[in-house]
Amino acid sequence: MLKGGKGKHRGGKAADGGKSSEIIDGYAVSYVPRMTRCGKPNCKKCQTPGGGHGPYWYKIYRTQTGKVVTKYCGKVKPDQKTEAREEVNPVSKETTHVVPNPSGGWDVKKGGSKKATQHFDIKKDAVDRARQISKNKNSELIIHTKNGRIAQKDSHGKDPFPPKG
């Protein structure tokens, strides 16, 4: 059950009048287009009634404390943006990392994960295992140095822009 609230977001209704499919902290999320004015005195877009620049899409939701949060999403509606991105980039968003372990050795981690998938004493062994995982998942392999910086990236999938020749 969605939590109630004041105003347009009450009862899980999206600001555009439709049902919102995304929920954050028990509240419905609305995606709203807005026109903005730049403030320049000679701007022809801003001078027309109901005009301005845009539309720009904003994500609106409530936090657990009840505060309304508005975040800029861009010029394209978020669901359209992800559809367009999937067409252009067929490589999965998953990444596999080889990172140094503070206790010594090397860890193979899935991108965004805190826990290691596997631990190795030698970096070469960790890289070999991470490369196998990356190839199986058609994902990107990211190899880090001892100080945590990225040393190398390898894409193991369908490259959307293959080099010529």
Q: Give yes or no for residue 18 having a pLDDT over 70.
A: no
Give the rounded percent of residues in the chain with a pLDDT score beyond 90.
Answer: 22
6-25 core/surface letters (b: 16 or more CB in 10 A; e: else): eeebeebebbeeeebeeeee
Q: What is the mean pLDDT of the chain?
A: 76
pLDDT at 11: 39
Q: ∠ CA(104), CA(107), CA(108), 5° rounding?
A: 170
In sequence order, which residues have a C-beta less than 8 Å from that of residue 130 and are 6 or more positions away? 96, 97, 98, 108, 141, 143
**pTM recorded for the entire structure:** 0.44
Whole-angstrom CA distances from 77 to 107, 136, 159 are 38, 33, 26
- The pLDDT tens digits for 101-152 are 999 999 999 888 888 999 999 999 999 999 999 888 888 899 999 988 989 9
- The pLDDT tens digits for 2-16 are 444 444 433 333 444
What type of residue is 46? C
